[in-house]
Amino acid sequence: MERLALVLSFFFFLFLSKFSFFLSPPFKIDINECSNSTWNNCDSNATCANTPGSFYCTCKSGFFGTGTSCTDYNECLNQGTGNNCNIYATCTNTPGSFYCTCNSGFNGTGVTCTEYNECIGQNGGNNCANGTSTCTNTPGSFTCACNSGFSGNGVTCTDYNECLGQGSDNNCANGTSTCTNTVGSFTCACNSGFNGTGVTCTGNIIISRLCLWDVLFEDNLSLLSCRCG
């Protein structure tokens, strides 16, 4: 009988030692390992959860791993859940998260980015030459081009002298009119003795016998300026 009591006592002790965490004091008090970082081995980027007799670790949002070791997701490389940055934004990775910044030429939160029109002076506007060039809006930027009659890079534009005979820069009547350069353009005026727009000039010539003699025998070209009369 004493032997049976001894065996029962042994098994009762074994039961208490194995399953006492289910019981309330005074049998055994559960230690909350999560209440002190030195009592658990969770990563600094993990959340500790206490359980009866133990604990477990779960990596925080933005991290992956076992819980005792957690690594940041680089959302900008589309790890984990990726990122929601706009196609016109730049993604920057941070520990546990990321952020989006709209690229130059765009306004917004980074998740939404709206192109703005520098040509109507928004956000500092543009640096096109004022009054002598034309601004053209482009996605994320703008371009400047000198207006007709001006030369340059669009940021600085200077008047073009069409009267210097550069190619077909002016359409003044050749030989019978005079070209005058103006800022951004030019004018043509018929020479003295000719009538017209300057682009076309008609000579008001009265050919006398003397003049005809001059034209025929001295200088054919003088017909244009012959105003004998």
**Angle value at C-alpha 23, between 20 and 29, nearest 5 degrees:** 75
User: Whose Cβ is closer to Ca ion: residue 73's or residue 194's?
Assistant: 73
Binding piece for Ca ion, criterion CB under 5 A, among 30-38, 127-135, 173-181, 187-195: 173-181
Asked if 135 contacts 129 with a C-beta cutoff of 8 angstroms, the reply is no
User: Is residue 136 involved in binding Ca ion (CB under 5 A)?
Assistant: no
The least CB distance from residue 117 to Ca ion, in Å, is 6
- In eight-state DSSP terms, residue 121 is T
Tokens of 120: 């109507």
- In eight-state DSSP terms, residue 154 is S
User: Is residue 159 involved in binding Ca ion (CB under 5 A)?
Assistant: yes
User: Whose Cβ is closer to Ca ion: residue 138's or residue 204's?
Assistant: 138
Binding piece for Ca ion, criterion CB under 5 A, among 126-134, 137-145, 190-198, 220-228: 137-145
Q: Which of residues 25-64 bind Ca ion (CB under 5 A)?
A: none
SS3 76: helix
Of 42, 45, 72, 146, the one binding Ca ion by CB under 5 A: 72
Asked if 101 contacts 110 with a C-beta cutoff of 8 angstroms, the reply is yes
User: Is residue 127 involved in binding Ca ion (CB under 5 A)?
Assistant: no
Query: For the chain, percent helix, then strand, then coil, each to nearest 5?
Result: 25, 30, 45
User: Is residue 20 involved in binding Ca ion (CB under 5 A)?
Assistant: no
- Read off the amino acid at residue 206: I
The least CB distance from residue 65 to Ca ion, in Å, is 13
What's the residue count for the chain? 229
User: Is residue 137 involved in binding Ca ion (CB under 5 A)?
Assistant: yes
SS3 20: helix
User: Is residue 169 involved in binding Ca ion (CB under 5 A)?
Assistant: no
Of 181, 187, 191, 225, the one binding Ca ion by CB under 5 A: 181
Please state whether beta strands 185-190 and 177-182 pair in parallel, antiparallel, or not at all (unpaired): antiparallel
Of 50, 71, 90, 93, the one binding Ca ion by CB under 5 A: 93
Which residues in this chain contact Ca ion in the complex, by CB under 5 A?
A: 72, 93, 137, 159, 181
